[in-house]
Amino acid sequence: MDGSPIERFACRAVASSFGRLLRQVENRHVATIGSDPYILALNHSQRLEALVIPAWLALLRGGRRVHFMADWNFLLIPMLGYAIRAGRSIIVGRKAAKPAFLNRFKSRLVPSESPMLQAQRLLLEGHSVGIFVEGTTNRNPKRLLRGLTGAARLSLTTRARIIPAGVVFPEHDGNGPVGDFEPFRIRFGEPITPPALPTDPGAAVEAERQLHARVMTSISALSGKHWSPENPRTKHAN
């Protein structure tokens, strides 16, 4: 695979340590290099997905990364932060660190460019980006969160297609929250081409809302989890 020796080592280390959790991938051909640039939009049920899926994609694509968004707090964890930096992630600095004294490192770790501008630049340069559209870890086994509209906005402004994907837990019985280290599989859906971006601001907002609903409906079908625009935005009561 391409990339520096350090990047190749980090990718293979993640794959060898946790790759056994990824049991099956359906329709993997839609995520290959020939499809770039695209926005990969997935649901998010356990923390390790954020490591395993980018590493697997890098191996599938011969080292060419899909650049995922990642919370800057994870950079504070030595080995995990190393893996995230090796994956050339798009760093999101929205949340404060806990304990609070760690916030003194934020200016060193978070780029001055916003996550959306980082993602937009990468897409316009021909790279692909990955977004866990629920915006947080949602361990509810039956329902998706409402989701954030960033993937739809990026698609409309850059003309990049969205590839929806569902993360499924075949061994989970549907009762209680999804736990870390549960085996999962990925189901890639057919790419979604964005409509033309309206010039009228109100119509643009509506186009973003409709495209987001289309993406979430597709992820719902792929993941087997229910979605509605009335679902909670940040957290379910499991």
Q: What is the pLDDT of residue 37?
A: 97
CATH for the 24-223 domain, from 3.40.50.360, 3.30.1540.20, 3.40.1130.10, 3.40.50.12140 = 3.40.1130.10
- Domain residues of the chain, as ranges? 24-223
Closest CA to 123 of 1, 40, 221: 40
Look at strands 128-132 and 38-42 and give their pairing: parallel
Q: What is the pLDDT of residue 8?
A: 75
Residue linked to tokens 């404060």: 96
Encode the chain (238 residues) as per-residue pLDDT tens digits: 666 676 777 778 887 888 889 999 999 999 998 999 999 999 999 988 988 999 899 888 988 899 999 889 888 987 778 777 777 789 999 889 988 999 999 999 999 999 999 999 999 999 999 999 999 999 999 999 999 999 999 999 999 999 999 999 999 988 899 998 999 999 999 999 999 999 999 999 999 999 999 999 999 999 999 999 999 988 765 4
CA dist., res. 122 & res. 18, Å (int)? 28
Contacts of 208 (CB under 8 A, 6+ apart): 149, 152, 153, 156
CA dist., res. 191 & res. 114, Å (int)? 26
Q: What is the pLDDT of residue 19?
A: 81
The answer to whether residues 129 and 119 touch, using CB atoms and an 8 Å cutoff, is yes
Question: pTM (2 decimals)?
Answer: 0.91
CA dist., res. 3 & res. 155, Å (int)? 27
Look at strands 161-168 and 184-188 and give their pairing: antiparallel
Amino acid letter, residue 187: R
